[in-house]
Amino acid sequence: MASENVRQAALTLLSHCHERLALKFGFELWDGTRIPGDWDEGALRLVIHDPSVLGRLIRRRRIETVVEAWSARQVDVIGGDLFDMVAARPEGKSRQLIAKLDKTLMAKALLRLALGRSGPDRGDGLAGRKALVSGSTAEAIRHHYDVSNDFYRLFLDQRLLYSCAYFTDWANDLDQAQHDKLDHICRKLRLTEGERFLDIGSGWGALVIHAAEHYGVSAHGVTLSEEQFALSRKRIAEKGLQDRVTIELKPFQELDGTFDKIASVGMFEHVGFANHAAYFKTVRRLLRPRGAYLHHAITRKGRATDRAFHKKPPEYRALVKYIFPGGELDHIGWSARMLEAHGFEVHDVEGLREHYALTCRFWAKRLHARMDEAIEYAGEPRARLWLAYLTGCALTFERGGAYLFQTLATRRDKGPAGLPPTRADFYR
């Protein structure tokens, strides 16, 4: 049981913040006390289920504390979703907002919360988690993708595409935008009948199936996820495409042979800087001279120096720790540099930041609407973690905190690139 001192300190602190900052959302304490007290049941509010959270946030002011508390449902949002809560935040810079508060009152309340007895710190199953060495390992891939196919069906489109959609119209729904993404990639690669096409990190098989069905290629995909591998093979059989589409459960570095076109869509983020050179050398080895390669990847903002770029902000470290173990994001300048350094000629770079912001917003909204089922499939901590992750990604891309680019390159060779004089064929 939380002490009365802790409850009174929380009530004083949150009531003061609500009044001075004119907050558009309220609070609810673990005993049902609401701030303001006259707010309706359906009003937007932050609920504190576990009083130990307040002291922990004061003593351990890190994003991991917030993530762990949210995942354990020690805090929650009622009367809306995380997007609503962010939209309701007070306007102004942090320094301006803090200046509106009574510093003496705040200090006394915070001290009482930090030192007060509030019951056992329950933890949540996420504390102490360590990132794996490399996001490209099978263990890391299974951590993210082998939650369960049923879980991903709750919020992805009907084809189960877990990468940025392509909105030819901002009013399009997710299924249409993901179909258009597949077609956009195939047109960029200028796939033609009879060509050999490789999809590195083929997911649940949507791109290889689309390319074979609509462009007549012989398509091959590789994945490290057993769940994705099994469903991909099932889908290929249902389509009767076994003679033109194949999937392997293996690292793409172990592939042999030569392909006319290669795509990597949302996979490169798992590779890690230490493996970039080996990655591009392998792509080049598998691609015929002047064969086309499409590189679709999330990036961070470039900085003035490499040292400044590799200094990772807290949000980025939390993402790697909880969601993408071992993953690393480069910047678009590094992508182009590595392509050129390893035998490629870059022809086109398209920024899709706003497309990915809208994609993630679709995913987060759909997952929020089916949270009961998500908890059944993945457990409450992981379902809530994924909801926070998808919401955070949507907001990050909306605000320009991260980017996503599709880069089209060919394996360098002497003479003409063999491409049309304009890009009109894939921007139709």
Q: How many CA atoms lie within 13 A of 373 on its CB side?
A: 13
3-class secondary structure per residue, the chain: CCCHHHHHHHHHHHHHHHHHCCCCCEEECCCCCEECCCCCCCCCEEEECCCHHHHHHHHCCCHHHHHHHHHCCCEEEECCCHHHHHHCCCCCCHHHHHHCCCHHHHHHHHHHHHHCCCCCCCCCCCCCCCCCCCCCCHHHHHHHHCCCHHHHHCCCCCCCCCCCCCCCCCCCCHHHHHHHHHHHHHHHHCCCCCCEEEEECCCCCHHHHHHHHHHCCEEEEEECCHHHHHHHHHHHHHHCCCCCEEEEECCHHHCCCCEEEEEEECCHHHCCHHHHHHHHHHHHHHEEEEEEEEEEEEECCCCCCHHHHCCCCHHHHHHHHHCCCCCCCECHHHHHHHHHHCCEEEEEEEECHHHHHHHHHHHHHHHHHCHHHHHHHHCHHHHHHHHHHHHHHHHHHHCCCCEEEEEEEEECCCCCCCCCCCCCCCCC
Q: Which of 239-253, 306-320, 405-419 has the lowest mean pLDDT?
A: 306-320
> Tokens representing 37?
């007290």
pLDDT at 137 over 60: no
Question: Residue 139 has what pLDDT?
Answer: 53
Is the C-alpha dihedral spanning 260, 264, 270, 273 positive or negative?
Answer: positive
Angle at 213 between CA 208 and CA 219, to 5 degrees: 35
- Choice among 164, 186, 360, 393 that is catalytic: 393
> 332, 403 in Cβ contact below 8 A?
yes
pLDDT above 70 covers what percent of the chain? 92
Tokens of 43: 């009003």
Q: CA dist 360 to 195, 291, 365, 427, Å?
A: 33, 32, 8, 23
CB 181 within 8 A of CB 263: no
For residues 241-257, average pLDDT: 96
**Six-digit token pair at 95?**
């320094």
Task: Walk me through the domains of the chain, giving residue ranges and CATH numbers.
Answer: 4-115 (no CATH), 138-411 (3.40.50.150)
Average pLDDT of the chain, as a whole number? 90
> Is the pLDDT confidence value at 131 over 60?
no
CA atoms of 250 and 268, how far apart (whole Å): 16
The Cα–Cα gap between 356 and 352 comes to: 6
At 427 the pLDDT is 74
Say what percent of the chain tops pLDDT 90: 77
Q: What are the backbone dihedrals phi and psi of residue 287, each rounded to the nearest 5 degrees, phi first?
A: -105, 135
Tens digit of pLDDT for each residue in 18-47?
A: 999 999 999 999 999 999 988 888 899 999
Band (248; pLDDT cuts 50, 70, 90): very high
Check residue 285 and give its pLDDT: 98
Q: What is the mean pLDDT of residues 377-382?
A: 93
Do 21 and 90 touch, CB atoms closer than 8 A? yes
Least confident of 128-137, 157-166, 177-186, 265-274: 128-137
- 393 catalytic per annotation: yes
pLDDT at 276 over 60: yes
> Tens digit of pLDDT for each residue in 356-366?
999 999 999 99
Cα–Cα distance between 229 and 226 in angstroms, integer?
5
pLDDT tens-digit readout, 71-118: 999 999 999 999 999 999 998 888 999 999 999 999 999 998 888 755
Contacts of 293 (CB under 8 A, 6+ apart): 261, 262, 263, 264, 283, 287, 344, 408, 409, 410, 411
pLDDT at residue 297, rounded to an integer: 97
pTM: 0.91
Closest CA to 150 of 411, 423, 412, 379: 379
- The pLDDT confidence band at residue 322, using thresholds 50, 70 and 90, is confident
CA distance 75 to 86: 15
The answer, yes or no, to whether residue 134 has pLDDT greater than 50, is: no
- Is a pLDDT exceeding 70 seen at residue 142? no
CA pair distance 301, 331, nearest whole angstrom: 6
